[in-house]
Amino acid sequence: MNRLGGIFWGLVFLAVPVLGVAVFAVAPAINVWLPKDISAHGYQIDSLFYFILALTGVVFIATELLLFWFIWKYDAARGERKATYIQGSHTLEVVWTIIPAATLLFLAIYQMNAWANVKMRRPDMPPTVEVVARQFEWRLRYPGRDGVLGTADDLHLVNDLHLPVDEEILVQLKSMDVLHSFFLPNLRIKQDAVPGMKIPVWFRATETGGFDIVCAELCGWGHYKMKGRITFVSRPEFDAWLDRKYSEQEATQPVAEAVGEMAVR
């Protein structure tokens, strides 16, 4: 490689950290970043993300700058001295093994509280709603007027999840067929739905509005369309919505029963 070629490739590698940092600096300003956090625990998840991003970012920039410096300083076109073969350094190998291991151990300890809040400290309450993943939809079941989940008067809906804001919510997550992943980006919640298991998921929303429910696990040909909507409203609005849905379901039951009887005959 001639001298000009060495300079060119050195500048190319130098542009990698420069442009990389610029992209992360500009992204939030143009709204190409994390979705808005509306959960009580989301700040812990985001803080962990930013900490890891900063840690790996510093290592990335340092590595790229060193790569640029080596390309620039030891350009073969200069011909200052002939390259020599180095057998290796056991000490150096131990050092670059211990440092990443210690970093990973630190991260494991640092994130324990965030993990416990989302995955371990389950609220002592009955399920608010059951969410059943099925190719390619989210089936929802609310406790009926008796307040008990799993009885004949349960309310059944599809892809339209309504919940009260500023209240602890406990979801009972299941799958009817294959592995799915219940992903609520604005709540910083992502939990696999495993066939044969009932998995608790809990959170508390801090803002009203409608947000996406998506599947974050490739679950078949229709994975792309497995979308739902989660809407947070005030407690009075939620109770009124439930009453309306109960009435709608009860009004259609006689028709469904009549159709079923005709089919049997």
Q: 110 with 141, same domain? A: no
Per-residue model confidence as pLDDT tens digits over 91-141: 888 998 999 999 999 999 989 988 888 889 999 999 999 999 999 999 999
68-83 as b/e: b if 16+ CB within 10 A: beebbeebeeeeeeee
Amino acid at 9: W
Assess if residue 265 is contained within a domain: no
Tokens found for residue 202: 């809990």
110 and 133 share one domain: no
Q: Given the structure tokens 């985001």, which residue do they identify?
A: 46
The amino acid at residue 215 is C
* Boundaries of domain holding 97: 3-76+88-118
Structural tokens at position 249: 């379901």
The per-residue pLDDT string of the chain (265 residues; one tens digit each, 9 = 90 and over) reads 555 666 677 777 778 778 888 888 888 888 888 899 999 999 999 999 999 989 988 888 888 888 888 877 776 666 666 767 777 788 888 998 999 999 999 999 989 988 888 889 999 999 999 999 999 999 999 998 888 888 888 999 999 999 999 999 999 999 999 999 999 999 999 999 999 999 999 999 999 999 999 999 999 999 999 999 999 999 999 999 999 999 999 888 764 444 344 333 4
- What pLDDT sits at residue 258? 42
To the nearest 10°, report the CA torsion of 251, 253, 258, 263.
Answer: 140
Collapsing DSSP to helix, strand or coil, 124 comes out as: coil
Same structural domain for residues 70 and 145? no
What's the CATH code of the domain at 182?
A: 2.60.40.420
